[in-house]
Amino acid sequence: MKILIQSARIISPGNEFHNKVCDIFIDEGIIKEIGQGLKVDADKTFTSPNLHASPGWFDAKVNFCDPGLEHKEDLNSGLQLAEAGGMTAVATSPDTHPKISNKAQIEYLINKSSMSPVQVYPFGALTDQLGGTVLAEMYDMQQAGAIAFSDAEKPVSSGIMYRALLYAKNFNGVIISFPFDSSIVGKGFVHEGKASIYTGLKAIPSLAEYMVVQRDLSLLEYTGSRLHFTGISCRESVNLIRDAKKKGLNVSADCYINNLCFTEEDVLGFNANFKTLPPLRSADDQLSLLEGLNDGTVDFVCSDHNPEDIENKEVEFDQAAFGTIGTQTLFSALRSIKNLSIDQIIQYIAINPRKVLGIHQSPIAVNQNANITLFDPSGEWEFNASNNLSKSNNSPLLGKKLTGKVLGIINNGILSTQQEREQIQGA
């Protein structure tokens, strides 16, 4: 198919076309020409007021609950909401039922999603069935398409982390650590601070996070391997990772969008949609995350899309499950953060996730694969029950007016636009 994108401002830091308004001509999924006023024979032409184009966005932490928990989300619904959120790629959690801990399960996810313009990059389990005792078949899973290895939110012992780092070093595998010591927390629900004092709910201290960061950095230095921290949320963790990077350790980190947009004060109303893991922390911690993003300590941002059904959310706060949905609103949520430029946002959700996880970059350039997100950074829209494409509704943004509208994506030779999706929904 021949596609012409007209008068789009290209946002691609470091690219020769960065911040220029251009036409982009794509033929059979390959960018053939970039310029102004292109005269070509196209099967589809797309333009829109205030149209922007960037390298395709990548949400590097989602749980699409497939296989086993499809009543919360399935791969089809997850891919559809990822399209609507401007994603051309997602990285999926292994915490399904059964867990993603062998080659066949990796192949299942990749094959089932092969017809979508959104590419699925699975995380494989670090330990067999996320059981925490025996290393999973990491090399075989990597050969099948797994891009990294994680036990999701499950605790990982020092011995397992040590052996995983050593083993993965043999094939340049990426080990992911979710720094959370549940033995310290017990049955904690909110950040230790204003949230725990004012609500009377059991606390989750920052110590439960940064102590694991400190441990895993020591193991990383000893093994000389490669490690990525997901869900960093407190100042101490940011400082430890900053120092480790200065020492030259092969470490990277991400944070979740909820910890950038909300703080512990948001839980004071006992709204279970603000119950997240890691918990919403202090304003000082939030500022530290933003500082970490600005100076490169924190590499990128992801949604931690975690669907939950009504039975697990519309209950008392202490009984509710952790987690929110967020892939469809990730860009708009980032747009709500003051002093965060469009260039920075594209760096955090398009370029850096691929760089860290070793995914091929497709720049907006002639003879490159067209992997592009189309958007209006100033477009306003309301996120509500009718346009929420998730099977679940556990979002604090439902019913809110948002800024930053996705107009479409191009990937795998497919142009998918918001206008077409709305027409299909209205039919």
Pairing of strands 251-256, 227-229: parallel
Looking up tokens 């970490």, which residue turns up? Answer: 292
Answer for the pair 44, 75: CB distance below 8 angstroms, yes or no. Answer: no
Token digits for 184? 């310290």
Other C-beta atoms within 10 Å of 179: how many?
26
DSSP per residue over 308-370, as a string?
--HHHHSS-GGGSPP-B--GGGHHHHHHTSTT--HHHHHIIIIIHHHHHHTPPP--SSTTSB-
Please give the span between the terminal C-alpha atoms of the chain, in angstroms, as a whole number.
Answer: 25
Other C-beta atoms within 10 Å of 138: how many?
23
Answer for the pair 300, 352: CB distance below 8 angstroms, yes or no. Answer: yes
Token digits for 227? 């490690």
Return the C-alpha torsion angle 200, 206, 211, 217, nearest 10.
150
Residue 381 neighbours by CB under 8 Å, 6+ apart: 332, 387, 401, 402, 405
Looking up tokens 């959310």, which residue turns up? Answer: 313
Looking up tokens 């601070």, which residue turns up? Answer: 193
CA neighbor of 362 nearest in space, from 413, 312, 321, 401: 413
β-bridge mates for residue 404, sequence order:
none
- The catalytic site residues sit at 304
Distance CA 136, CA 132 (A): 10
Residue 303 DSSP one-character state: -
Strand ranges in 260-312 using DSSP code E only, listed in sequence order: 300-302
β-bridge mates for residue 373, sequence order:
54, 409
Determine the Cα angle at 325 with ends 359 and 205, to 5°: 90
